Structure 1
Amino acid sequence: MFEFNSRHTKFPRGFGLPGRAWKAGMPLIIKDLQNARSFLRWEEASEIGINCGVGIPYTTPPDQTWVMTFLSAQATPIARRFEIWVPDPSRTELVFQSGDCSKNADLASLYASKTIRKGEGSIGGAWATGMPAINEHLKVDDTIAAQLARAAGMNQIVVLPVIENALLKAVLAWYL
């Protein structure tokens, strides 16, 4: 039923996970989907155990936006941690914006005043190249993000840069 409804649901700008990511123009993480009334299919998601969603908008000329959404279930998660990093006002470093961790870590506190420079580690590397990155061995990444992920028992990362008009808007990272 969830799959059927997903294929036949239209998401206006600002509604549901895709519509909210579209309106924000930024990646969006919705935690605890079974209780998120802003997630239009929350009842069906709850029935099948989906508990976290990520929306990633990509704008293409002429001003068309496509939104990729990833839904994760507690029993079969696609990732154990999601993080969104954004450039600071001077565009010299990335700062933590939001995240969700299956270990219930307070990521905002862990990353308070921590930054990642352009080209540094997997996350900074995706910013420098503008290309997605996959790192199967976080032990070779010395960034604060990799250190904290390793401490939580995570060893791999997938990184997706979100770029608009040739400028990085955000970096979405998820850890396995």
Structure 2
Amino acid sequence: MADISYLEAWRMWLDGQSTLGHELFGVPMIWLGRAGKVAAFISGLTILVDIAGADHLRAVADRLTAWREGITFVAAVTLGVWVLSWGMHSLPAYPIVDVDVPFVGDAINGVGYVIGLAIFIAVVGTMALQLGSGMAVAVQKLVTAAAVMLEHPRAVQIRLVALLLLLVGFHFDLLAS
């Protein structure tokens, strides 16, 4: 990879040549472009959070907390159903039934399959609900942190850094295209 200067990179870009395959400041242009995309994305999120406002973000965090508490309740109920169905499935029903009675053995087998399916659904449902609850906690903490950031005395500097990130990120993304 050839190392090019900043002005040479702009000259190449203005002439319609690709700067990919070259290095600028010792860094491959593809990585500068990717870093520019990430910087612009983070800046855009900061700007969107600023538009939403701290009050709206706190309301979202409160809704996430209520949702998470609901998920915990549903997960507890699902776990109860799972334990109950497991207990029902473990009952020694087969020796009690007279095998010579038509369709009874098949009916008990069918009930066993339904109970097994209920157990599977309960276990998978509980795992999914707990995963959703954990993700809700993480998102709630991020949203609350964003609201606190907006109310910080130096929020103006945060906005200026976001604007600078947007400009620099877009600049390097454009230069690497």
TM-score (norm 2): 0.19
Return the index of the structure with the highest Cα Rg. Answer: 2
Q: Which is strand-richer, 1 or 2?
A: 1
Higher normalized contact order (CA 8 Å, seq sep 6+, divided by chain length): 2
TM-score (norm 1): 0.19
